[in-house]
């Protein structure tokens, strides 16, 4: 997270959508093509600052929200408020607030889950979809149940279902376990102490950490758990760090199989945090993909 590209104007504002107020970073110019970037667990809009700056510097307008439950956005108290269908309507409201009929949707982790979900439910509002290290919702659901490798990797999802205990364990010693979990080390080096403090500050806000975990709790406790229509009709790019400790590599190709026009790019020496570890590569892949005028190829590659 090296800050925004010089010359790319930015502002911070609050957008009201679907009954919540979301803090949004608005980069670039209002007349440019618009991209919406969705962060995952346990990050926030700050995790996309560098990438948003790169895209804004390339001529895009970029909206980067703190999703509901995170950082300075609203934090509804009930687990049911973090149902995927409800959050998809947050995303739809952000698209409406952009003033655009369509946006390019870029996302990672839980943000990727919501990007898949939104593209399946509201394909007319998405021009292109770029996801990093997140499986299509139905692929994830099926593999957690039927793929022993993924079931083992997803053990923490079940552990997070307990009330208050995960918050107590993970919050100890200034979130020491959380910081260890997301300690990336890539081309630009490891997470800096300043970046770590930014995460700790966001996690420490009142009700924030419970709200963040409630995304996991809602996934197992509330409906709908599955999409009625699972096909992704918009051109799709899936970037997959192969050293992911949380997701089985097989989920990538299974996810692309749900796409009419999609491809996966594997990054052999990157983990779940591919956007932090390989920012130059990821930025180039995304810029090239968004600039394409023809549909995404169904081929896979590195």
Q: How far apart are CA 246 and CA 244, in angstroms?
A: 5
Hey, what are 81's tokens? 């408020």
Residue 300: exposed, middle, or buried by beta-carbon count in 10 A (0-12, 13-18, 19+)?
A: middle
* CA-derived radius of gyration, the chain: 18
Q: How far apart are CA 38 and CA 15, in angstroms?
A: 15
Catalytic residue among 108, 113, 272, 276: 272
Spatial CA neighbour of 129 closest among 299, 272, 266, 286:
286
Catalytic residue among 74, 104, 216, 275: 216
Alpha-carbon distances of 220 from 40, 112, 138, 145, 214, rounded to whole Å: 18, 18, 13, 12, 10
Contact 132, 274 (CB under 8 A): yes
Annotation says 23 is catalytic: no
Spatial CA neighbour of 240 closest among 97, 139, 93, 147:
139
Helices (H) and strands (E) in the chain, counts: 12, 10
Catalytic residue among 109, 258, 275, 276: 109
SS3 236: strand
Hey, what are 72's tokens? 């300075």
Annotation says 216 is catalytic: yes
Annotation says 272 is catalytic: yes
Q: How far apart are CA 118 and CA 105, in angstroms?
A: 9
Active site residue ranges: 109, 216, 272
């Amino acid at each position: 997270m090296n800050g925004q590209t010089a010359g790319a104007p930015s502002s911070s504002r609050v957008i009201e959508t679907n009954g919540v107020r979301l803090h949004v970073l608005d980069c670039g110019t209002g007349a440019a093509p618009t991209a919406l970037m969705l962060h995952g667990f346990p990050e926030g809009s700050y995790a996309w600052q560098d990438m948003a700056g790169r895209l804004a510097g390339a001529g895009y307008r970029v909206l980067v929200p703190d999703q509901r439950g995170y950082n300075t956005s609203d934090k509804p108290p009930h687990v049911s408020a973090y149902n995927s269908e409800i959050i998809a309507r947050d995303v739809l409201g952000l698209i409406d607030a952009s003033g655009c009929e369509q946006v390019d949707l870029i996302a990672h982790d839980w943000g990727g889950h919501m990007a898949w979900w939104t593209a399946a439910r509201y394909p007319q509002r998405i021009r292109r979809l770029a996801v990093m290290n997140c499986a299509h919702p139905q692929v994830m659901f099926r593999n957690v149940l039927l793929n022993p490798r993924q079931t083992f990797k997803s053990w923490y999802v079940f552990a997070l279902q307990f009330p208050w205990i995960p918050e107590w364990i993970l919050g100890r010693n200034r979130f020491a376990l959380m910081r260890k979990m997301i300690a990336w080390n890539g081309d630009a080096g490891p997470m800096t102490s300043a970046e770590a403090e930014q995460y700790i500050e966001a996690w420490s806000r009142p009700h924030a950490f419970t709200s963040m975990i409630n995304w996991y709790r809602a996934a197992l406790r509330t409906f709908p758990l599955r999409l009625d229509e699972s096909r992704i009709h918009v051109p799709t790019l899936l970037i997959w760090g192969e050293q992911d400790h949380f997701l089985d590599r097989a989920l990538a190709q299974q996810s692309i199989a749900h796409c009419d026009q999609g491809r996966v790019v594997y990054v052999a020496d990157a983990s779940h945090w591919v956007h932090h570890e390989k920012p130059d590569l990821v930025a180039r892949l995304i810029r090239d993909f968004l600039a394409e005028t023809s549909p995404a190829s169904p081929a896979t590659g590195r």
